[in-house]
Structures are given as structure tokens and as C-alpha cells.
Chains A and B, each alone.
Chain A
Amino acid sequence: MVQQKIREKARELLTKKAVDLIIGFGEGTLPLRATPLFIRSPEEVDRLIWNSFCENNLATYLHKLSQFKVGLVVKGCDSRSIIALSLEKRFKPDQLFLIGVPCQRMVDRRRVKKAVKGEILRAHEQGDQIMVEGEDFKTALKRDDFLYPSCRMCTHRTPIQANVLIGDPVEESPLIETHPEVKDFEKKSPEERWKYFEKESSRCIQCYACREACPMCYCVECFVDSYNPKWIEKGLSPSDLEFYHIVRAYHQTGRCSGCGACERACPMEIRLTYLTQKLNRDAKELFGFEAGIDADAPPPLSTYEIEDRQEFIK
């Protein structure tokens, strides 16, 4: 069982003192939730769990742990973020020990909640079903109907780079070819696209959870926090909210692993991944590049080649 093997590996690493700490997932206090867990001694490893609610991209924690040797439980997307970050020289060699887990795709807890009437008080996975229970209901839901969009289209569930792989690599076939929202978005006229974007970003409360949850957002000073020069006002005027979301998305071009952590973090349920997925597709179509796949290929916007197309220069 995956969970048991994660614990065994963690126990071994901590006992040998091969790492200072392990970051994995622990049981949440609410149904449908797991929580990032920091383990520092072999006695604690039995708190590590693995299930379809391990939705966070743990690579985001590495920025605050640069002095430690970290053992990190990684899914396909987390490992892609780590490769992308390595290309940006964020880690010392050998600072990380990656415990790779081929991912079964994660469950969108909010969609599950919306599918039932009343508060879910208990939930567990049973085969390909999620059993949810409340005060006066008990129902079985088909797991595959409740996956995060980014997980449904994922083509790299098996970690690309890992010091050890727990379990066998899984078949890499996406459940859907394109992000459903990107597909719809592309069909819209520019006015309709703007309207959609405007409506989504209007709910923003500037909590910056999307930024903090993202492993690729690690600037010492984010442009929104800069006072001199001041790029953005901190009120809630639509133009400031829109500006933030556009810049956040564009800073991800060629760097985003498509993990969806930004969207999962948003308390206002703002759709965000349609933007980054669109940019990911552009990077693939224009430069044949996918973030976090090749540990030697720099992201297209931070390098050049003599043969680069340049007909856009007039």
C-alpha cells in the first residue's frame, strides 16, 4: 500500500538522518481534506497518509526551508515544479530527497460538497467511489466525476524526477484532452473573453493565496507589494484586480506545471487555471516546450536560439 511505503521510506530517511525533515500529507480535521504535514522524527511517520485529497503542491514550502535538507512527497505536478525551480537555481544540489508517488488524480472537494445537500460530516474512498455522509444522507459518488480539471487533463501523473518511486509508474493518458474552460474560452469573441475574465477577477479579495500556494511565485518582493515604484493600488478597483491576475498568469508562462494549486487555494473560487493552461498550450505550440519535463531545457522566455522566429519584429 502506497501510504505504508511512504511511511517506511520516511522512517528510513529520518532514522539515517539523511534528511532534516519530511514534508508529506497528514489527516485533515475535516472530511475530504488532507493537510501538509512536517515530520522531524521517526516516531511521527505514522501520521503520514496518502489519499485522493492530497491536493497541495508541496514544492511551495521549499522556499522557506533553504537551510534544510528536505524529504518531500511529490506527485507528478510537484516534481515538475521542482524541475522548473531547479532550472531557476532555487536549490543547492542534494538539498532535496524526493519521494515520488504516482498520482491517482485528486478529488475536487468543493465539487463534492456542491453535489450533496447538507454538510458532509464523514467521507472516505472506497474503490473508485467516494462515500459521503451527513446528518440525514449517505451517498456514493463516482470518484472520476469529481476530479480537479487540472488532474483530469494531467499527462504526467508519475513524478518525472524522484530519488525513489513509491509504487509503479501509471499509464499517462489524460481523461480529457483540453482544459474544458480553455476550450470554451477560445471559442469566445475577445469581448466575451474579457467579460468572463472581468467577472471572475471581480471576486478577488487580494488575499494572494493563489500566489502563496504556487511554488513558482517566490519573488522576494512581489510587484503588488512594491511601494517604490508602486505598480498597483491596494483597493478593490476592477483595474487593479485585473492587472494583478494578468501579470500573475503571464509570469507563469513556460514555468507553470499546471498543478492547479492557485485555483484550489482561492477562497472566492475564481477560475484561474484557464489562463495558465492557455499560456501552457501557447508555450507548447510555439516553442514545443512543457514546463518541468526536461531538467536541462531552460524555459522559452528566459533563453533564445539563433533560429528563433522573428517575423514579429517589424
Chain B
Amino acid sequence: MKLKLDKKDFENFFQSLMDEYDLYAPVQLAEGVSVFKKIDHPGEVNLTQLHPQKPAKDVFFPQSEVMFRYEKVGKQNQMHSTEEVKRERILFGARPCDIEAISIIEKVFVGEEYTDIYFLEKRKKTTIIGLGCNHPLSTCFCSSAGGDPFLRAGSDLFFIDLGEAYFVELLTEKGMAFRKNKFFKEADPKDLTLVKELEEKAFEKVGFSIPVDGIEKRLDLMGESSFWDRVHEKCIGCRICTYLCPTCHCFDMVDEASNDKGKRVRNWDSCLSPLYSLETSGHNPRPTTRERTRQRLMHKFNYFPKIFDRVACVGCGRCILYCPVHFDIREAINRTSPKRLKRFVGERL
């Protein structure tokens, strides 16, 4: 069923959902700075930035999250679980790359052996309204990284900006629940033509120029390559690229406790931080930015695809845009291209 939503009805549409759902969408915190967060009013939704600094993973796997609380009452220890999500949620305004990234994290968090109830509970209770990318940025390389600017996978509903209206597709059972929504109208055939044009334009813009394909095999040869001696040099060891990465999913757990009560909290962690790999003995197997940069790239482009058949990068370009020393992950990937790799691994290729 092909539908559309007039933009003049957008706020009313959102308002009508708020009785039933908690709404998460990009919100501007300052000029040029936005994040996905729970909104109180539809007017807060702000789509000026294609990629808000913090990716949509923050909605499913928040930067800091209480896992449970505990308390000593008299002689009794009491525990209170906190994973339950009480209200159904809607995520609006995430781009296909961010949504693809949620499926990537899901591969780790919802596996055969382990299930992360905190992630799963939020994932189950969230309806995702994806938003097509009419104007990918020059830093976007989703198509090279296995996605595309209009990838529907992962979305329950999918919106495409037609200017005056959003083209609306209902993709899953959760999405179909919206088919009788009073704000949706039937789309015209000319809307379909426009969608096709927008898609083609975006596809052409984003291109396939980054040699991600087959990278895990090439990196297999590079564990101790001199490649790593140079690629890390300008890294100052902050955590921006990992925290703002929609697929990075490492966390650390701590107890925040005082007197008779406390809580266990998990916080995002980053392989770029010295503390991440520091052992109790004081030994650090990844002592410098060389080993840490290698870990970041190897995890994304070698270890992860070996286990899950997909690189842990969706080509959103946040790490390129926000790196204070302008480390460009595309350059690092380019240097592993079969042609240039010869320099580092010689005839072994």
C-alpha cells in the first residue's frame, strides 16, 4: 500500500501518537548539535542534520543505563530490575545507515548463547520509522559498506521526503498497524515517479568508491604489517569515533553505590581509551594508539565480518566529520585496497 503524509499534518500525526507511544527523534541541543532523544512535543523534531552527532543506537543502547538497583533493608538485600520498558516507543528520523547499525548490534546482543535483555526489550517495544536519504553527504559511503541511502531493512515504516509531503511505506506487521491512520492519504502515481528519481539521484551521489568488499581477507594478512605503524600516528586517543559510531557497542559496567544502596550501571566504553585494555596487573596489551587503532579497524573490518558476515561499519561518515585530527576511515580502507596493499604484504596477497 502506497501512502503519504502531508507535512502540514506532521505535527498532528505525531501528537496523535503520543497518547500511546514514547516518541524518539532527532532534537537540536545547540546550533549544529543534535541527538536522538525522547520528545515531549512534536515541534522538537529537528531534521536539519542528516546525521545527529549521537546515532540512533543511543535509543536502544543508551550511553549510560541502569541495569538494576539494590538496597539493604534491615537484614534483607533487595534487588530491583530496571530493564522493563513500560510504554511502546516510536523512533522517527533515523536514516537507513543508523537502522542498519541497530541490526548489526542486534547480531551481538541477541544471539544464540546470550541475550541482552536491556537491548532486546527496547528493540521489541520500538516501532522504527526510517527516513530515506535524498541528499547523502560527501562523507557518506553506505553503498560501499553494504547498505544504501534508501535501504528499508530494519524499518517498520519508511518515509521519503517529497517536499510538501512524506511518501509512506508500511513494511512490517508493526508498520501495517498504521494503515488506517487518519493522517495518511493514498499516494499519487506521480509520487512514485518522484520517489524513483530521488532514489536514483541519491544512489548516484553516494557511489561505490570505497573498497570495503573483501576487506576482511586482506586484513587477515596485516596483523603485524607496517601499515599500522603509520595509520595511527595522528590519533590523539579520544573516543569520538567510537562513541559516535552507530555500530560500536562496547560497554563497561560499574557499581555506583553508597551506604546501603546502589545501582549497577553500564556505560559506553571505547577501545581507543587506555583503560579499556588495562589489566589488573598494570600490564596493557594495547599500550599505544597504534594497537588501539588497529583494534578499532580490525574489529570493524576483520573480526566482525568473520563472525557475522558483515562489516561493522555502515558508512555514515560520523567518524570522519567529527574527528578532531581529521582521521578519515575511508583513507585507511583505501590503503588496504588490493592495489595499494602490495606495499605492506608484498607477494602474500
A contact set with B: CB distance below 8 Å: 28-30, 33-38, 56, 60-61, 64, 110, 113-114, 119, 121, 203, 205-209, 211-213, 225, 233-237, 261, 264-265, 267-269
Contact = CB atoms under 8 A, between A and B. Distances in A.
A65 to B, nearest CB: 10
Q: Taking each of B63, B230, B240, B324, which has the highest tally of chain A beta carbons within 10 Å of its own beta carbon?
A: B324
A18 to B, nearest CB: 20
A30 B326 contact: yes
B236 A212 contact: yes
Nearest to A265: B324
A56 B244 contact: no
Contacts of B256: 233, 235
Given A113-B32, A205-B243, A207-B243, A264 B288 contact: no
A119 B265 contact: no
Interface string B306-338: 000000000000001110111110110000000
Contact of A208 (B31, B238, B267, B326): B238
B33 A269 contact: yes
7 contacts: A35-B327, A35-B328, A235-B64, A235-B265, A235-B267, A265-B236, A267-B244
A237 B256 CA distance: 12
Interface string B59-78: 00001100000000000000
B121 interface: no
A121 B244 CA distance: 23
The 6 A-B pairs of least Cβ separation, nearest first, read: A265-B324, A209-B238, A235-B64, A35-B326, A267-B322, A212-B236
B33 A207 contact: no
Contact of A119 (B54, B63, B138, B230): B138
Contacts of B244: 267
B239 interface: yes
A265 B238 contact: yes
B274 A225 contact: yes
B328 A208 contact: no
A38 B233 contact: yes
A20 to B, nearest CB: 13
Contacts of A261: 324
A234 B252 contact: yes
Interface residues of B, number: 44
Contacts, number: 110
A236 B62 CA distance: 10
A207 B240 contact: yes
Contacts of B324: 56, 209, 212-213, 261, 264-265, 267
A235 B273 CA distance: 16
B265 A208 contact: no
B255 to A, nearest CB: 10
A121 B138 contact: yes
Nearest to A225: B275
Give the interface SS of chain B, mostly helix, strand, loop or mixed: loop
B85 to A, nearest CB: 19
Given A30-B320, A35-B325, A203 B33 contact: yes
Contacts of A29: 320, 326, 328, 330-331
B325 A205 contact: no
B53 A119 contact: no
B305 interface: no
A209 B236 contact: yes
Contacts of A37: 234
B139 interface: yes
Nearest to B266: A235
A37 B325 CA distance: 10
B237 interface: yes
Given A225-B275, A234-B252, A234-B267, A209 B328 contact: no
A212 B237 contact: yes
Nearest to A264: B324
Contacts of A121: 138
A268 B29 contact: yes
B137 interface: yes
A30 B330 CA distance: 12
B252 A213 contact: no
Given A30-B328, A33-B326, A38-B230, 12 more contacts: A28-B328, A29-B331, A36-B325, A36-B326, A38-B233, A205-B63, A206-B243, A207-B243, A208-B239, A213-B236, A233-B265, A267-B240
B289 interface: yes
B138 A30 contact: yes
A61 B288 CA distance: 12
Nearest to A210: B238
Contacts of A28: 326, 328
Interface in B192-207: none
B234 A205 contact: no
A224 to B, nearest CB: 10
